[in-house]
Amino acid sequence: MAEATETKIGTEAGQVAENGGKKTPWIEFSNGYLDRTPVLQFAMTSVLFAIWAIASSLNDILITQFKAVFSLSDLATAFVQSAFYGGYFLIAIPASLFIKKTSYKLGIIAGLSFFAVGCFIFFPASRLVTYEVFLFAIFVEAIGLSFLETSADTYATLMGPKRLGTVRLNVAQTMNALGLITGILLGKYLVFQDSNLHAEMAKMTPEAAKAYGAEQSSAARWSRTSTCSSCSPC
């Protein structure tokens, strides 16, 4: 009975959506679900799951790099994770309110925009070789990722029949594991190339150590911006 009602509502929505004699490629029901899954849009949304997984896995590698480059204590390096997850903590509810007032698509666009800004802040941070600027960049990235996760999880669920909503979310979540592996490989081959940075920097003069620190900061910047360049608004 419920399915029949849902189908009736969907048919009416499809008729209203007529534009120039043409109907939309799919029908949106009153509960937000679609009658079938738009494959391209769903694939693009699933890529977002990989993006935030890459960013998350790179944090652990950046902690090791920052500790060596800036000669930080264990307590100081903990601020990397604090800046990252602090962005989630502070922005998750405002992000959900923004999405509620606008749409999931605008939430994704806002998330990608914040994430891009955070990535590009790594450019001046690598030039200044300043730990605080890196932390700010990571915090801005986390704001964007908070928007993305809040939007994409529900958006992926709604992109098709209601009975397959959990299946779609699970399929999209498989990209998360792929992103984690990609992030580890990026860190291994592009950032964390030296087995012992402390030993390397101990042999250098202060000027050489500073230059080397800038080089390692640039490597961290490159890994972030390469992740950012792979994403585009849906």
Q: Which residue has the higher pLDDT, 49 or 56?
A: 49
Q: How far is CA 198 from CA 37, 148, 156, 174, 175, in A?
A: 52, 36, 44, 37, 35
Length, in residues, of the chain: 234
pLDDT value, residue 174 = 92
- Asked if 141 and 87 count as a contact pair (C-beta separation under 8 A), the reply is yes
For residues 116 and 138, give the distance between their C-alpha atoms in angstroms, rounded to a whole number. 11
Instruction: Give residue-wise pLDDT tens across range 65-97.
Output: 788 778 788 888 888 889 999 999 999 999 999
> Does pLDDT of 129 surpass 90?
no
Kindly list the domain boundaries of the chain, sorted by start residue: 1-36, 39-229
Three-state secondary-structure class, residue 19: strand
For residues 83 and 231, give the distance between their C-alpha atoms in angstroms, rounded to a whole number. 22
> Does pLDDT of 199 surpass 60?
no
Which homologous superfamily is 39-229 in? MFS general substrate transporter like domains (1.20.1250.20)
Query: What is the value of pTM for the model shown?
Result: 0.71
Three-state secondary-structure class, residue 234: coil
Give the rounded distance of the alpha carbon of 59 from its chain centre.
13
> Does pLDDT of 8 surpass 90?
no
For residues 85 and 75, give the distance between their C-alpha atoms in angstroms, rounded to a whole number. 16
pLDDT value, residue 69 = 78
